[in-house]
Amino acid sequence: MLQIYNTLTRQKEYFRPLHEGHVGMYVCGPTVYGDAHLGHARPAITFDLLYRYLMHLGYKVRYVRNITDVGHLEHDADSGEDKIAKKARLEQLEPMEVVQYFTNRYHRDMEALNVLPPSIEPHASGHIIEQIAFVQKILDNGYAYISNGSVYMDVEKYAKDYPYGKLSGRNLEDIKTETRELDGQEEKKHSFDFALWKKAAPEHIMHWPSPWSEGFPGWHMECSTMGTKYLGEEFDIHGGGMDLMFPHHEAEIAQSCAALGHDTVKYWMHNNMITIAGKKMGKSYHNFITLDQFFKGEHELLSKPFSPMTIRFFILMAHYRSTVDFSSEALEAAEKGLGRLQETWNRLMKLQPSDKSTVEIGNLSERCEEAMDDDLNSPIVISHLFESAKIINTIADGKGTISAEDLKQLKDVWRTYVVDILGLRMEETGTEANGSMDALKGAVDMLLNMRLEAKRNKDWTTSDRIRNELTALGFQIKDTKDGFEWTI
């Protein structure tokens, strides 16, 4: 039975959905004013793994992942201007053109990483009316105040009735000393009060009418609003990166409790961060590498381009709650590992059954499931798969046989875990009804059969020539007991 680590209770808990057979899951999505980088890939892949596994377990999952397009997550340090608005102004674009451009590019990157699209992908800008209503509820309940056209959460008042800081393990005293939020300082009762609605400055081009001012929602409001709109006042899972735990998720809990009188989320899940050469990714370190740069190899920290599947495998090789340190060498190691997985896959798909098995395939399926049930332990799943590679190689090398039943079971486990759950795209050599691939396969097989014939006739010149020329073209040829194997 699936156990997941709940950040709120700080322990692994058995997953029991609120509504039998159904799971509601919300994950904080990207802010779309720039290309997605490695830091975006980790939560996307982590929660894609969870989404895929929940579906494998037979749940009907409603997966909501938002698009933050009001751009208030990070204001420009100098002008205090909304980043999307600033980009739009500089490039003379409609703000929604900027949003659409980067949303399209985000989708393209996610598709390359084989991250499944969510069931609903709501935009913050498309839910302004709902956000205003949510702010109004908090005001009505007395946990917010209006100041100069903006609305702020009254954190001190809230903390008297609810535990503020429970998710990140902070108390109000810690938060008081930690908060250096200067934005709107003169309007707020306390520095740690956060904005639910902000009055727009005249140069601010993204703004909407509200009962308090022409303005825009505060940066935590969209997730409280859209989560409950699409998943109900109580839902199962809320996920995101650990960096969002405070203040974003803490504020979300406060807003929801202040408006509705209770928690909305049963299980909070957070993936750990990716560091680059031991350093946090951040603007001041100049170490942001976009996914596009990875795919093209265009960054000084990269030795070469890395395929999206290598990035995905690299992330899955670590448990989602442990830190991952990126380096070009680590990615090269992941690339080799993925190559070995693909090679084993190719060999497995070509195996022929015999009357009986001389190998023990064991309880591979159960062991993989056990690892996934243990808080999505993908590295253990991968190690089980590599262990079964030994069996596959034994049979492929002619040192053992496998029955049709065992072979089917082995193939099923590999398909289920490698393709469906880990979401790794495997190249199907010759088994896919792919016209050009079949033609290529036919041609190479023909050449290698000619080589076999040449060898039988002791025509070493022809045999070596075919081998060398195919190798030069990028084919890897391996002689086996029954003939040959090749990959590109």
Q: Which residues bind Zn ion (CB under 5 A)?
A: 28, 223
Residue among 88 and 221 whose Cβ is closer to Zn ion: 221
- The end-to-end CA distance of the chain, in Å, is 41
Residue among 138 and 318 whose Cβ is closer to Zn ion: 138
Least separation in angstroms between CB 38 and Zn ion: 20
Residue among 75 and 411 whose Cβ is closer to Zn ion: 75
Least separation in angstroms between CB 130 and Zn ion: 15
Give the separation between CA 89 and CA 113, rounded to whole angstroms: 32
Closest CA to 404 of 346, 356, 349, 363: 356
Give the separation between CA 356 and CA 157, rounded to whole angstroms: 73
Residue among 28 and 200 whose Cβ is closer to Zn ion: 28
Would the CA dihedral through 299, 303, 308, 313 be positive or negative?
Answer: negative
Give the separation between CA 215 and CA 152, rounded to whole angstroms: 13
Residue among 28 and 44 whose Cβ is closer to Zn ion: 28
Residue among 215 and 240 whose Cβ is closer to Zn ion: 240
Least separation in angstroms between CB 147 and Zn ion: 24
Least separation in angstroms between CB 155 and Zn ion: 18
Least separation in angstroms between CB 248 and Zn ion: 6
Least separation in angstroms between CB 277 and Zn ion: 29
Least separation in angstroms between CB 95 and Zn ion: 20
Residue among 243 and 445 whose Cβ is closer to Zn ion: 243
